[in-house]
């Protein structure tokens, strides 16, 4: 019997960004996960793309778990409408809980916090701590420079190509869902779809 995708951790910005397509992708992510019966696990905030993805999942009848450090309570405003809100004492504890509860990770548009989450979860995979899919959703090419940085690490001899292959880049939410299924963890996205 195949393993089913039950929870996806979404890393994304606490701001909206400058392109309306970012908000659209976050909304689609929440809606798609809810429609598939997949629990959304995210950073617990009510603002920015984090708020959009949570609101979209809730509106579509989905189940949402938010994880937020207590010191961000005023800065990011906790989302009080989620089914489960876990308040922790550090950013590391937040990532640890999100990691332990998720079957896959989606990186949507975001800033430094999103980059931190992406790099830590990728490093854990590189070090053999998990084999879960990591999907970088390159909506409107927001992550082109991030992708270039990852590729440069390989070109400069700081990472192996096999490690670079541990994070998949996809153009949209539909493809992210397809590549998040446990049996799809090692698939490659056709180059024309990037």
pLDDT digits (tens, 9 = 90+) for 159-188: 999 999 999 999 999 999 999 986 554 444
What domain count does the chain have?
1
Lowest mean pLDDT among 25-29, 54-58, 101-105, 185-189: 185-189
- Pick from 28, 100, 89, 31: nearest CA to 64: 31
Q: Does residue 148 sit within a domain?
A: yes
Q: Does residue 153 sit within a domain?
A: yes
Domain housing 62: 7-185
Q: Does residue 194 sit within a domain?
A: no
Q: Does residue 25 sit within a domain?
A: yes
pLDDT digits (tens, 9 = 90+) for 35-56: 999 999 999 888 999 999 999 9
Q: Does residue 94 sit within a domain?
A: yes
Model pLDDT, residue 40: 97
Report the CATH number at residue 115.
3.40.50.450
Whole-model pTM: value is: 0.89
Comparison of pLDDT for 193 and 88, the residue scoring more: 88
DSSP class of residue 44 equals -
Q: Does residue 152 sit within a domain?
A: yes
Beta strand spans in the chain (E): 7-11, 39-42, 64-69, 84-88, 104-107, 134-137, 168-170
Q: Does residue 190 sit within a domain?
A: no
Q: Does residue 163 sit within a domain?
A: yes
């Amino acid at each position: 019997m195949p393993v089913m995708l039950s929870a996806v951790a979404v890393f994304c910005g606490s701001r909206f960004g400058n392109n309306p397509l970012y908000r659209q992708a976050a909304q689609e992510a929440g809606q798609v996960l809810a429609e598939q019966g997949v629990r959304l696990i995210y950073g617990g905030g009510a603002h920015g793309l984090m708020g959009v993805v949570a609101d979209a999942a809730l509106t579509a009848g989905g189940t949402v778990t938010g994880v937020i450090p207590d010191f961000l309570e005023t800065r990011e405003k906790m989302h009080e409408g989620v089914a489960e809100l876990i308040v922790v004492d550090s950013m590391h504890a937040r990532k640890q809980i999100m990691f332990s509860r998720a079957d896959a990770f989606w990186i949507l548009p975001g800033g430094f916090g999103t980059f931190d989450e992406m790099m830590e979860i990728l490093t854990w995979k590189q070090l053999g701590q998990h084999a879960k899919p990591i999907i970088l959703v390159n909506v409107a090419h927001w992550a082109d420079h991030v992708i270039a940085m990852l590729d440069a690490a390989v070109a400069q001899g700081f990472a192996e190509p096999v490690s670079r292959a541990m994070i998949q880049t996809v153009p949209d939410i539909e493809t992210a869902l397809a590549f998040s299924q446990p049996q799809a963890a090692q698939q490659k996205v056709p180059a024309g779809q990037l």
